[in-house]
Amino acid sequence: MSAFTFENSGSPLAIAILGVSNIATARAFYRDVIGLDESPEVTWSGQTFEKHFALPQGSSAKAVMFGFNAAPGQGPKVGRVLALEFNAKDRKTIPTKGDRTYRGLWNLNFYVDDIRATTKTLQAKGYEFWSEPVGYEVSAKAGAPVEVLFDGPDGLAINLVELTGDETTTVGKLKKEVEALGKTKTGFTQVATTSHSIIHRDKALAFYTRVLGMEARIDDILGKPETNHFLGRPHDAKTRATFMAGNHQFGKVALSHPENYSAPNKVDLAVPPNIGYLAQSFCVPSILRAQDACNAIGAEIYSPMMEIEIPGIGLAAAMIVCNPGSGALMHLFEEGAVNFRAKGMF
């Protein structure tokens, strides 16, 4: 679900960081199916890389960034995917077959124009869908999107959404805005929304609002049979859903909290070098202010702030913290063409 518009100034999701079984499989989906552009493949290694991802000496990863650009080096720097194929033994896969919602980071969402035609095309390619596309009314004011989910590469849940209606509804207004932004050559947007199933709602909100400056745009209990059907949840499931938005129509974060059913906790598995959705990454205006905000809300440091070359980004000051609402990894970075050391930051 992703049906609303945004005018606030917070930091949207810049990158979904994925551990992948192999780069070729990631490329076949994010480039060939979704239609995102790719950065040159590089091998990411060295002491800074190892420290950044809390990996043993000698670790490395093949890395490719997938994003939507009107021209090289241009376009919105939101909703990208960084695929990392770690060179490590005994990598564990986070999703297991049959998983639906689980605690932690579990879903990527893309907008499409014709969800039923897209579903048929992907089914013909062998992708396994959880249900048929389902249309439902969020509310009379919000409107009625159509959604479906399927198992993407390495079992990651992929959510497709068709925005419907006219500008009298929130969904219809968003549809017009998305049309102006354009889609890839295969008819998809970049990552529009990504889901995070949380344990402590107030603690999770503190991270997204106080560290990132995002705003809650919808906060409601989802429990309609049709939504539970396409999400693969119990028929009578009640889920508190809080949709966080930054300064773009894409890169939103959907926080979900199961109210009357259980969901497996995968957070401890979702760390490098494992396979699956490892971290949400956000570009912040000031990494120093972000660090102070993380300290203020008690976000545990996974790896300290450091200067690092990020594939597809370039030189950045970056750190990784654990979201206090779930323990899931949150990657924060400040881009910089100048050396951060010259600023006295390290």
pLDDT (0 to 100) of residue 289: 95
Bridge partners (DSSP) listed for residue 103? 265
pLDDT in tens, 228-253: 999 999 999 999 999 999 999 999 99
Residue 71 clears pLDDT 50, i.e. is over it: no
Cα–Cα distance measured from residue 214 to residue 208, given in angstroms and rounded to the nearest whole number: 6
Contact between 251 and 191 under an 8 Å Cβ cutoff? The reply is yes
Residue 98 clears pLDDT 50, i.e. is over it: yes
Cα–Cα distance measured from residue 190 to residue 35, given in angstroms and rounded to the nearest whole number: 9
DSSP string for residues in 63-86: EEEEE--SSTT-S---SEEEEEEE
In a domain, 180, yes or no: yes
Residue 73 clears pLDDT 50, i.e. is over it: no
Cα–Cα distance measured from residue 195 to residue 280, given in angstroms and rounded to the nearest whole number: 10
In a domain, 103, yes or no: yes
Contact between 274 and 281 under an 8 Å Cβ cutoff? The reply is no
Closest by CA position to 11, among listed 202, 286, 320, 254: 286
pLDDT (0 to 100) of residue 346: 64
Residue length of the chain: 346
Bridge partners (DSSP) listed for residue 330? 280, 321
Domain harbouring 187, CATH code: 3.10.180.10
Q: What are the phi and psi torsion angles at 219 (to 5°)?
A: -140, 105
**For range 299-308, the mean pLDDT:** 97
Cα–Cα distance measured from residue 247 to residue 57, given in angstroms and rounded to the nearest whole number: 38
Cα–Cα distance measured from residue 71 to residue 82, given in angstroms and rounded to the nearest whole number: 19
In a domain, 104, yes or no: yes
Tokens for 239, please give them: 């889920």
In a domain, 176, yes or no: yes
**Percentage of residues in the chain having pLDDT higher than 90:** 77
Secondary structure E strands in 167-251: 193-197, 215-222, 239-245
pLDDT in tens, 123-158: 999 999 999 999 987 777 777 899 999 999 999 999
- Between the alpha carbon of residue 215 and those of residues 81, 125, 132, 211, 247, the distances in Å are 23, 38, 32, 11, 9
Q: Does the pTM exceed 0.85?
A: yes
- Between the alpha carbon of residue 113 and those of residues 32, 147, 188, the distances in Å are 18, 11, 8
pLDDT (0 to 100) of residue 337: 57
pLDDT (0 to 100) of residue 2: 40
Residue 288 clears pLDDT 50, i.e. is over it: yes
pLDDT (0 to 100) of residue 5: 39
Cα–Cα distance measured from residue 6 to residue 253, given in angstroms and rounded to the nearest whole number: 13
In a domain, 221, yes or no: yes
In a domain, 326, yes or no: no
In a domain, 238, yes or no: yes
Cβ neighbors of 159 (< 8 A, separation 6 or more) are 107, 108, 109, 110, 147, 148, 149, 193, 195
pLDDT in tens, 147-197: 999 999 999 999 999 999 888 888 888 899 899 888 999 999 999 999 999
Contact between 2 and 192 under an 8 Å Cβ cutoff? The reply is yes
In a domain, 287, yes or no: no
pLDDT (0 to 100) of residue 309: 95
Residue 287 clears pLDDT 80, i.e. is over it: yes
Least confident of 108-122, 175-189, 298-312: 175-189
pLDDT (0 to 100) of residue 304: 97
**Percentage of residues in the chain having pLDDT higher than 70:** 92
Structural domain boundaries enclosing 194: 1-42+56-269
Tokens for 192, please give them: 């529009």
**For range 294-302, the mean pLDDT:** 97
DSSP string for residues in 127-145: PPBSSS-EE--SBTTTB--
pLDDT in tens, 213-231: 999 988 888 888 999 999 9
Give me the residue label for tokens 């670790």.
59
**Residue 275 DSSP class:** B
Cα–Cα distance measured from residue 319 to residue 156, given in angstroms and rounded to the nearest whole number: 25
The helix, strand and coil proportions of the chain, stated in percent and rounded to the nearest 5, come to 20, 35, 45
Q: Please state the domain count of the chain.
A: 1
Contact between 287 and 11 under an 8 Å Cβ cutoff? The reply is no
**For range 115-126, the mean pLDDT:** 98
Cα–Cα distance measured from residue 244 to residue 247, given in angstroms and rounded to the nearest whole number: 10
